Structure 1
Amino acid sequence: MELRQTSIPGCCELLPDRFRDDRGSFVKTFHHGLFTELGLNTDWREEYYSVSHPRVLRGLHFQLPPHDHEKLVYCSAGGVLDVVLDLRRDSPSYGRHELFELNAERANLLYLPKGVAHGFYVTDGPATMLYKVATVYAPAHDTGIRWDSAGIPWPDADPVISQRDRSFAPLAEFVSPFTMGGAR
């Protein structure tokens, strides 16, 4: 598995080995020893997936401290434009985003540190996104940043999006509790 650093500290793209034959393909998405060696979290508390249709936008989501978490995400069917937005006040990339194409063909994964918002737009659907998270879902701490408030060049000005996601505060109004070393 190859690890590529991104412009957002602590966020990395993982490119696993993909084994193919006449039956299809096989991809290992997690290996405890390798993740430990790379300094990545190995203590996952929940795992879930979403299935979304073309033009669906989900995000930009995160959990507030003390339930903030690292996250490992990947797309096992279809394809998405995935976005990470840095919300850590003392980060050199605070308020900036980075875009990634995640899809079943590439089999790439994103490792997200605490203090970043995550979202995606379905470019090839239906798309199945899988998530491993380091804390259990805490509804009272689950929130987000409004999708159109951070200068992200989404491919659609009028995506299919939930009312909840439309109602999030814009980035300019969000008072971040996140730092590179954890919440303050």
Structure 2
Amino acid sequence: MDIKPTPIPGCYEIHPRIFTDQRGSFVKTFHQDIFRQHGLETHFAEEYYSHSRQNVLRGLHFQLPPQDHVKLVYCTAGEVLDAVVDLRLGSPTYGQFATFSLSAENAIALYMPKGLAHGFYAVSEQATMLYRVSTVYSPEHDAGIRWDSAGIPWPSAVPILSSRDQTFPTLADFASPFVFSAPLEPARV
């Protein structure tokens, strides 16, 4: 498992080993000791998945404090353009975004610290995303920013959106409660 930093501090791409044979493939998506060695969260309170058809955009979502959470996501079927936006006041990348190609084929996972908005766009005909989060879903802390307010170059200007995702405030209008805390330097393994 190779853990690579991204342009957003505390956000990492997790590149697992993919084992293949005549039956198909096998991928380890989480290893507690490796995560600990890199200073990453190892306690996840919930796990769920979404299945989306092509041109669906989900996001940009997060939970507000005190129910904010670390998130680990990966694509188990199809391909998505995944995106994060840094909402942490004082962060050197506050208000900036980063995008990633996640697919069943590349098996890359994305680790997000607290204080990032997250969303994705289904590039393939169908896409299944799995999420692990460090806190339990809390409807009263569930929030987001508008998908088109952070400058992310989504593949479509007219994606399929939920009515909820269309009503979020823009990044410019969002009063962030998140504060940046420099991540620990990962151990070199």
Superposed CA deviations along residues 17-67 of structure 1, whole A, max 9, x for unmatched, are 000001000000011111111111001000000000000000000000000
CA distance in 1, matches of 2:175, 2:130: 29
Equivalent residue for 2:148?
Answer: 148
Letter in 2 for 1:86: D
Identity of aligned residues (%): 61
Moved over 4 A (4+): none
Secondary structure of the structure 2 residue equivalent to 1:172: coil
Equivalence for 1:164: 164
Q: Using the alignment, how far apart are the partners of 2:18 and 2:141 within structure 1? A: 36
- Work out the CA distance in 2 between the residues paired with 1:9 and 1:181: 9
Q: Give a deviation string over 1:111-132, Cα, whole Å, max 9, x none.
A: 0000000000000131000000
* Number of residue pairs matched by the alignment: 182
* CA deviation map 1:139-165 (0-9, x unaligned): 000010000111111110100000100
The root-mean-square deviation of aligned C-alpha atoms, in Å, is 0.9
Q: Deviations over 1:56-84 (max 9, x none)?
A: 00000000000000000000000000001
TM-score using structure 2 length: 0.95
Structure 1 unaligned segments of length 5 or more: list them.
Answer: none
Q: Residues of 2 paired with 1:181 and 1:40: CA distance?
A: 14
2:108 corresponds to 1:120: no
In the other structure, the counterpart of 2:186 is none
Shift of 1:181: 3.0
Q: Which amino acid aligns with 1:47?
A: E
Q: 1:81: which partner in 2?
A: 81
Structure 2: segments with no counterpart, 5+ residues: 183-189
2:24 is the alignment partner of 1:15: no
Cα distance in 2 for partners of 1:104, 1:174 equals 33
CA shift, 1:2, in A, is 0.5
